[in-house]
């Protein structure tokens, strides 16, 4: 792995995940990102829960809340729960999405993470993003000004058998067999949500998969004041950025208040990999160093102006999510756990009980 250096400015990594109780060496999740944060000199991190899909459940929200409670300079986005897969047409009355939004905010989450626009999860929960339950949820989030970190879509070639790589197929991300929403349908659903909720504060992960069609983003930015994108790779994004360097340099300057740094680094993977990743994203924005980066290309960063750089690496997160992380309300957290623990596997309930006994 090539060299990386601590960052030289105030940086927030706005997009991380926790996926396990401990890593392969038995190190628990509870303070894991601190080594990464300190080694790289990051000001703060923001962990996004993924309680639905990939065999996850409400435990993911609890991990994030516990991490936030135990570590300063940590923001977290909670996620919506689904009682079962696949989901039927109606949720139990005490699990509607608006109630869940209020519960997450009461606990002290700084926003909501949605993976519901990723084709796999979108298919599993069997729910069109225009479902009336989501509509109520988006209306409430818009009213409260709650920040949503939203994964919608995936690269277009994931639907195209002639272009999709074996690696992507092995991940289960080939969507061209007719059983998934199409690339266009997912965008259309989100455009309809924005048309109905035009001041929704939302950051679309992975540049909204628009690096080949950035004019779409320009239109969205002009139309909707609180629409943003993040820079979590997606290596394909960076290939487009490199191939259209001059265009993107002015795009990033012009829309610097709409773009946010993030890495998607996920516990239990290696801290060294997290460091490398944030170094490359940071350098892409802030420097013109020629280093081996995404897709193994040696490329110089955009070396943006100080103002644009600071917007992207820190200030946009402060503006959208907050300068300081919200405090965790311990009573609300316990209430939440007690309400939803029947959705968890028993050994996870025991582990959470043990942690609560130690820290609450």
The footprint of Zn ion (CB under 5 A) covers 264
Cβ–Cβ under 8 Å, residues 341 and 59:
no
The smaller minimum CB distance to Zn ion, of residues 48 and 141, is found at 48
The smaller minimum CB distance to Zn ion, of residues 91 and 278, is found at 278
Count Cβ atoms below 10 Å from residue 87 Cβ, excluding itself: 16
Q: Which residue shows structure tokens 């626009």? A: 117
| CA 191 to each of CA 11, 130, 185: distance values in angstroms, whole numbers, following the listed order | 30, 10, 10
Give the integer Cα–Cα distance in Å for 252 and 313: 12
Provide the strand spans (E) within the chain.
Answer: 12-18, 44-48, 74-78, 111-117, 148-152, 202-204, 227-230, 259-260, 265-267, 290-292, 298-300
Query: Cβ of residue 48: shortest distance to Zn ion, in angstroms?
Result: 6
Query: Cβ of residue 152: shortest distance to Zn ion, in angstroms?
Result: 12
The smaller minimum CB distance to Zn ion, of residues 260 and 264, is found at 264
Give the integer Cα–Cα distance in Å for 304 and 323: 23
- Which residue of the chain is nearest Zn ion when measured via CB? 264
Query: Cβ of residue 233: shortest distance to Zn ion, in angstroms?
Result: 10
Query: Cβ of residue 15: shortest distance to Zn ion, in angstroms?
Result: 6
Cβ–Cβ under 8 Å, residues 2 and 279:
no
The smaller minimum CB distance to Zn ion, of residues 232 and 316, is found at 232
The smaller minimum CB distance to Zn ion, of residues 259 and 355, is found at 259
Q: Which two tokens stand for residue 141?
A: 């989030």
Burial of residue 329 (number of CB atoms within 10 Å: 0-12, 13-18, 19+) = middle
Query: Cβ of residue 90: shortest distance to Zn ion, in angstroms?
Result: 29
Residue 298: helix, strand or coil by DSSP?
Answer: strand
Q: Which two tokens stand for residue 288?
A: 């013109």
Query: Cβ of residue 29: shortest distance to Zn ion, in angstroms?
Result: 16
Query: Cβ of residue 17: shortest distance to Zn ion, in angstroms?
Result: 6
| CA 128 to each of CA 99, 116, 188, 289: distance values in angstroms, whole numbers, following the listed order | 20, 9, 11, 44
Give the integer Cα–Cα distance in Å for 278 and 266: 12
The smaller minimum CB distance to Zn ion, of residues 264 and 310, is found at 264
The smaller minimum CB distance to Zn ion, of residues 154 and 264, is found at 264
């Amino acid at each position: 792995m090539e060299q990386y250096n601590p960052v030289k400015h105030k940086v927030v990594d706005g997009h991380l995940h926790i996926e396990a109780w401990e890593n392969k060496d038995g190190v628990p999740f509870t303070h894991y990102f601190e080594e990464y944060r300190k080694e790289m000199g990051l000001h703060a991190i923001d962990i996004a829960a993924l309680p639905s899909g990939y065999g996850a459940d409400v435990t993911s929200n609890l991990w994030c809340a516990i991490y936030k409670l135990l570590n300063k300079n940590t923001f977290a986005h909670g996620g919506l729960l689904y009682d079962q897969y696949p989901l039927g047409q109606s949720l139990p009355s005490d699990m509607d999405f608006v109630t869940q939004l209020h519960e997450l905010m009461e606990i002290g989450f700084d926003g909501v993470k949605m993976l519901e626009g990723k084709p796999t999860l979108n298919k599993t929960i069997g729910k069109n993003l225009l479902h009336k339950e989501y509509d109520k949820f988006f209306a409430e989030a818009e009213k409260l000004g709650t920040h949503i970190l939203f994964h919608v879509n995936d690269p277009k070639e994931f639907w195209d058998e002639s272009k999709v790589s074996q690696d992507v197929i092995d991940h289960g991300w080939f969507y061209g067999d007719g059983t998934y929403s199409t690339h266009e349908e997912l965008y259309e659903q989100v455009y309809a949500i924005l048309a109905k909720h035009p001041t929704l504060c939302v950051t679309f992960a992975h540049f909204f998969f628009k690096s080949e069609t950035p004019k779409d983003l320009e239109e969205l930015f002009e139309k909707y004041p609180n629409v943003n994108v993040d820079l979590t790779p997606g290596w394909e994004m960076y290939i487009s950025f490199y191939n259209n360097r001059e265009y993107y340099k002015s795009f990033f300057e012009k829309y610097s208040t709409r773009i946010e740094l993030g890495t998607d680094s996920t516990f239990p993977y290696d801290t060294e990999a997290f460091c490398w990743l944030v170094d490359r994203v940071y350098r892409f924005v802030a420097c013109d160093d020629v280093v081996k980066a995404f897709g193994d290309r040696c490329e110089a960063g955009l070396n943006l102006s100080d103002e644009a750089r600071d917007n992207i690496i820190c200030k946009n997160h402060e503006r959208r999510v907050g300068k300081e992380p919200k405090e965790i309300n311990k009573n609300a957290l316990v209430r939440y756990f007690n309400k939803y623990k029947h959705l968890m596997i028993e050994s996870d309930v025991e582990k959470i009980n043990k942690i609560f006994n130690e820290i609450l």
